[in-house]
Each structure stands twice: as structure tokens, then as C-alpha cells.
Chain A
Amino acid sequence: MNVAVFVKASLDPNMLRVDSSGKILVEDIPLAISEYDRNAVEEAIRIKEKHGGKVVAFSVLTWGPLQKRVREAEQVLREALAMGADEAYLLVDEALIPGNPYTTAEALAAMVRKVGQFDLYLTGEGSMDTLSFQVAARLGEALGIPAVSYARAIEVADGKARVTRDLEEHLETVEVSLPAVISVTGEINKPRLPTLLQIRRAFAKPLNKLSLADVGYTPPSGVVEIRDLKLLAVSRKNIMVEGSSLEEIASKLVDLLVKEGIVK
């Protein structure tokens, strides 16, 4: 059972950098492995541990500046390797920066076609920076295979996967023939923390860099233009309710809620 797992080097939403006008300083925000992609790597490794085979991690750099970011993207893939992936591929090309789910998914599909066939393709349900929830569905279309989203459980047997999809009101279990693309939720597992030794060993595992020319994909230009990226103007009052006793604070808070017309 060979598993491809797609991981994104995402802007870390907990490390925002902003200038005085509220413009997001994208170039100063560190990249980190996207939260749910870590769950996808964990699931891929568990499937390998149970069924044998190998796990190959794929990533496309989607944030610039390219020179500075390549190392951060490699670091993200090294993390997947340290967790237990066997090999990794990174696609770096100016034409894919800044990324959007359309060109990213097409580029990932082109990478996979270049590298080889897999039984299962896993990724997180969405990336922690842009949360578009698109890549798995798009990969299904691009690779011409079934795609199943929002998995919180996956069982693999006899060339099929039984997947429990986490929808708003219910859990839906479906069966699908492999190969298939499956996106996972944060609830599917608890990702392992690699040991120091595993982190060191990850440096000996192959991490291959590819360009668009290598994979034979030419992205259309101007599909998505980012006009602006700014801090959400939070129109909150930001009042700290203070007082010399809890009674006083509580009374003040009740009065404020009355004034807001909420407590009547």
C-alpha cells in the first residue's frame, strides 16, 4: 500500500506580522506544516505500519519570497520525513507564488504523475492559512480518481477504503475503490511527535526538488490576483471591566449588558 500525502507549508496564523496600516506582512510570517496535513501524514504512516508499502510526501511552495521560503518548505517536508514518511518532493516555481487552490492542486497532480502511482492520496481537509477546503476535491478531478472529503476514520482492505465522513449533522460512512484521494479532519488521529533521533535521521531521507519544467505543467496566469491582504478591522470596544471587588465588576458587566439591550 503506497500512500502519497500532500502537505502545505502554511503561513502560521498564530504568528501574524502587520504594519501600522493593518497590512499583513506576508513575507515576515513564518511557514509551518498545516495543522490537518500533519494528521494526514500521521494517517499515512499508520496505514503503512499496518499494510506495508511506503509513504511519499509532496508539497508545492505557495508563498514567497521564493529564495527565503525554500528552506522553510523543506523544513515542513523534513517534519513529515521525521514522522515516518520515506521520501519527499518539493515543487518550487515563481509561477506558483502566491498560490491558489486551483494551480496548487494542478501542480500537485502533475508532480504525482511524474513520480509514480499510489494506492491512496491523503491530505488535510483545509490549510490553516487560507482554509479553502478545495485541494482534495480538485485532485480527484485532476487525477481522474474518486475523492472523499472530511474523513475522521479510514479503514483500508481489499483494494477499498471505508471512510467515515464528518458532516455537520451526521457521520456518513462510505466505501470507495482505490486509488482515491481522501482529505482528513483534525479528529482522525493524534499526530506523533518525532524523537530527536527521528529528526536527525530525516536528513538522510531523500528530499527532491522539482520545477514546473520537471513535471510538465504550465499554470495559467492571472487566475487569481490578490488585491489586498489586511488585518480584519475588529470593531470591538476592547473595554476591560474593572473594579475593587468581583461584586462591583459583576454589577458593571450586568449594567453594560443592559445598556447593549441584551439583558432586559
Chain B
Amino acid sequence: MKVLLVAEKPGLLPELAGFLKDLGSKLGGVEAIAFTAAPSLDEAKKFTTYGFAKSYVAVAEQAFPDQLAKAVVEIIDKEGPDLVVGVATKMGNEVVARIAGAKGMPMFTEIVDVEAGDGAVLFHRAVLGGRAISVLKPALPAAATIPARKYEAPQPGEPGEVVEVKLPPSALSLVKVEKKEKGGINIEEAEIVVGVGRGFRKKEDLAMAEELANLLGGAVGCSRPIAADYHWLPEDAWIGISGKKIRPKLYIAIGISGAPQHMSAVMDAKVIVAVNKDKNAPVFQYTDYGVVADLYQFLPVFIQKLKEKLGG
């Protein structure tokens, strides 16, 4: 099977190589070629050392999805891959969807697993708000994206052949770019995340959650209304389908009802704890340890007990 990896920036190639290794072990070997865009060839070459037979590099400071997709379509016409695989960033999903659209291929967004054998593949996707798994068999050639930061980079090997390609013009023109407001700690990297929801009555009360997170060496994240409606926390703290996906060792959901859109983004947490005063809150379906209590009464006690434990 021949696989084309599509990385809108070279830093995504290592994790795509990690996926490739997994796929290769299931299929008994795969042939891989790669595409990426980078400000310089040298920048790209740092990331093309994972045994790709060939790496196509578009040299550009900045690129839009339509340009990247057009460039990849030309490579597909030349190379004829059976699978086109990108990373499920917003940009990656859009680029691969355009490629799939242009080439008339099915595409499987953010696959959580792949079964493979006898030259065929089955993709697993999380659907219905992350509560169900759909197992899908595509006609090949097909396209897919893998979850960001899921696959570990394999050991780098020999640098393969690198071929520079030109980017066609875009239909879009850039007006401006604004950085999103940043919170203190990146919740995607934190090992412990304290999630706050509408159970908190005012912004100042979030200090309790901050204290808990500090005690545990973690970060504070939130459900949609806290970031999008109340603006109590910056948007990069928002956990959910439209926000961030996290996979910490511990997620503590406090005053969060447990909408599927939120919970699907924390499914990969090793341990989930929930505190909610409503014993029927959906959040308890997804938790390892649930506490039915008013957060305003429980948190101070819990913080005190933790301090005693950590201090002793």
C-alpha cells in the first residue's frame, strides 16, 4: 500500500510517521511519500528523515488550504497513492477535505483507530458527540486525518529524497492575523486539568479552581459558556469539540453538566473526576469518581484535605 502524508507544516511529519509505523506494522510494510510546506527547504529537511521514499516540499512563508490542496493533487496524479493522510488540525482537515473533493475520494476525519490487513483498511471514528464509534470501510483510494499529538515520532533515519514543488496562487488574500488571548498554562500539555462550568456563579469564584489546579500542578480549562458566553476565561482554556481536546492524567470536571460536545474532548483522560450537585448530571456517566455536592461547599474542604496530604 502506498501512503501520501500531508503535513501543512513540517513539524507534523514526525507524528504522521508515527501513524505510518503503526499502519505499516498492521499491513506488513507500507511505501510512504510526504508533502509539506515550509519557509525553506532546510527547515523542511529537519523533518523528512523518517524513511519516506520521497518528500515534496512547497517553499512558502504562508499558505492557504486551496493552494496546498492543489499542490497535493498534482502529486497524487503523479504518485497514485492508495491513502492520503493528514493531521486533524483545522487546517489539516480542510486541506485533506479539499484534496478528497478534488479527487473524488472518501475521507475519514480524525480517525481514532485503524484496522488493516490483506490490502484493506477499516477506519474507526468517534461520532454522535464522541459517544459512539463508527467502523467504516472505504473504497481505495481514500483520505483520512489522524488526531493531533496522538502518535509518537519514531526514531529518525536516513534523509530521503527531497523535491521542491511550486504552490499555485490562492483565491484568498490575507487581511490580518490576530493571536488569540493566552491563558497561563497550556491545557493541552498539562498532566492535570481542572475544568470549570456553569456551576460557578461568578468569575471571582474560579479562584477556587485555580487554587486546586495550582495545588496539583495543573491548569484550569472550561466548558463552552465560560469562554464563549461569559468570557471569564480566554478561549484557549475552552475544552470541547470547537475548543481544545485534552488527554491529561487527571481531569476534574467541576460544575460541568457533561454535554457530549464537552465530554468527547476529555475522553482520553486517564482518570476523570466530577463534582456536581445534580446527581442526575450526564457528567457522571463519564467519570471514574463522582461527587454529588455543591461545589461551593465541597471545594474548600477538598482543597484543605489535599493540602494536608501534600504537606504531610
23 pairs, A vs B, C-beta closer than 8 Å: A13-B128, A13-B129, A24-B128, A102-B107, A130-B134, A133-B90, A133-B93, A136-B97, A137-B94, A138-B97, A173-B176, A174-B173, A174-B175, A220-B139, A227-B136, A232-B130, A232-B267, A238-B287, A239-B290, A240-B290, A247-B301, A262-B271, A263-B309
Docked complex Cα distance between A234 and B133 (Å): 11
Docked complex Cα distance between A232 and B126 (Å): 8
Distance (whole angstroms) from the CB of A226 to the closest CB of chain B:
6
Query: Which of A66-74, A113-121, A162-170, A195-203 makes up part of the contact surface?
Result: A162-170
List A contacts of B244 (CB < 8 A).
Answer: 168
Interface: A210 (CB within 8 A): no
Given A225-B136, A228-B135: A253 and B173 within 8 A (CB)? no
Docked complex Cα distance between A232 and B104 (Å): 30
Chain A residue total in the interface (Cβ 8 A): 80
Docked complex Cα distance between A148 and B174 (Å): 12
Query: Which of A42-50, A84-92, A139-147 makes up part of the contact surface?
Result: A139-147
Interface: A19 (CB within 8 A): no
Interface: A30 (CB within 8 A): no
List B contacts of A193 (CB < 8 A).
Answer: none
Which residues in window 155-193 of B have CB below 8 A to A?
171-180, 192
Q: For B106, give its contact among A126, A186, A224 (CB under 8 Å).
A: A224
Query: Which of B11-19, B41-49, B197-205, B291-299 makes up part of the contact surface?
Result: B291-299
Q: For B91, give its contact among A101, A125, A167 (CB under 8 Å).
A: A167
Most buried by B among A101, A133, A263: A133
List A contacts of B61 (CB < 8 A).
Answer: none
**A246 adjacent to B139 (CB under 8 Å):** no
Interface: B230 (CB within 8 A): no
Considering only CB atoms, which chain A residue lies closest to B148 in the complex? Answer: A168
For the complex with contacts A224-B139, A253-B302, 17 further pairs of A-B residues with Cβ separation under 8 Å are: A101-B106, A102-B101, A129-B128, A167-B91, A170-B177, A170-B180, A172-B177, A175-B172, A176-B171, A220-B139, A223-B106, A227-B136, A230-B133, A250-B301, A256-B289, A257-B273, A263-B306
Interface: B214 (CB within 8 A): no
Distance (whole angstroms) from the CB of A92 to the closest CB of chain B:
22
Considering only CB atoms, which chain B residue lies closest to A162 in the complex? Answer: B175
**B293 adjacent to A246 (CB under 8 Å):** yes
Q: For B290, give its contact among A187, A241, A263 (CB under 8 Å).
A: A241
**B127 adjacent to A131 (CB under 8 Å):** yes
**A254 adjacent to B174 (CB under 8 Å):** no
Q: For A134, give its contact among B93, B135, B259, B304 (CB under 8 Å).
A: B93
Q: For B137, give its contact among A227, A230, A254, A263 (CB under 8 Å).
A: A227
List B contacts of A207 (CB < 8 A).
Answer: none
Interface: B247 (CB within 8 A): no
Q: For B132, give its contact among A132, A149, A220, A231 (CB under 8 Å).
A: A231
Docked complex Cα distance between A201 and B172 (Å): 39
**A226 adjacent to B135 (CB under 8 Å):** yes
**A231 adjacent to B131 (CB under 8 Å):** yes
List B contacts of A148 (CB < 8 A).
Answer: 172
Q: For B90, give its contact among A13, A150, A250 (CB under 8 Å).
A: A150
**A141 adjacent to B137 (CB under 8 Å):** no
**B250 adjacent to A262 (CB under 8 Å):** yes
List A contacts of B139 (CB < 8 A).
Answer: 220, 222-224
Distance (whole angstroms) from the CB of A230 to the closest CB of chain B:
6
List A contacts of B137 (CB < 8 A).
Answer: 224-225, 227
**B132 adjacent to A232 (CB under 8 Å):** yes
**B105 adjacent to A102 (CB under 8 Å):** yes
List the interface of chain B (C-beta within 8 A of A). Answer: 64-66, 69, 89-91, 93-94, 97-98, 100-102, 104-110, 122, 125-139, 171-180, 192, 216, 228, 236, 241-242, 244, 249-250, 259-260, 267, 270-273, 284-293, 297-298, 301-302, 304-306, 309-310
**B101 adjacent to A137 (CB under 8 Å):** yes
Docked complex Cα distance between A24 and B66 (Å): 37
Most buried by B among A222, A225, A230, A250: A250
**B285 adjacent to A238 (CB under 8 Å):** yes
Distance (whole angstroms) from the CB of A229 to the closest CB of chain B:
5
Given A148-B172, A174-B173: A250 and B304 within 8 A (CB)? yes
**A102 adjacent to B104 (CB under 8 Å):** yes
Distance (whole angstroms) from the CB of B42 to the closest CB of chain A:
24
Considering only CB atoms, which chain A residue lies closest to B178 in the complex? Answer: A171
Docked complex Cα distance between A24 and B126 (Å): 13
Given A14-B129, A176-B171: A253 and B273 within 8 A (CB)? yes
List B contacts of A171 (CB < 8 A).
Answer: 177-178, 180
Interface: A249 (CB within 8 A): yes
**A249 adjacent to B90 (CB under 8 Å):** no
**A232 adjacent to B131 (CB under 8 Å):** yes
Docked complex Cα distance between A169 and B105 (Å): 29
Considering only CB atoms, which chain A residue lies closest to B215 in the complex? Answer: A263
List A contacts of B228 (CB < 8 A).
Answer: 186-187
**A141 adjacent to B102 (CB under 8 Å):** yes
Distance (whole angstroms) from the CB of A163 to the closest CB of chain B:
8
Docked complex Cα distance between A171 and B260 (Å): 26
Given A105-B101, A238-B287, A246-B297: A230 and B132 within 8 A (CB)? yes
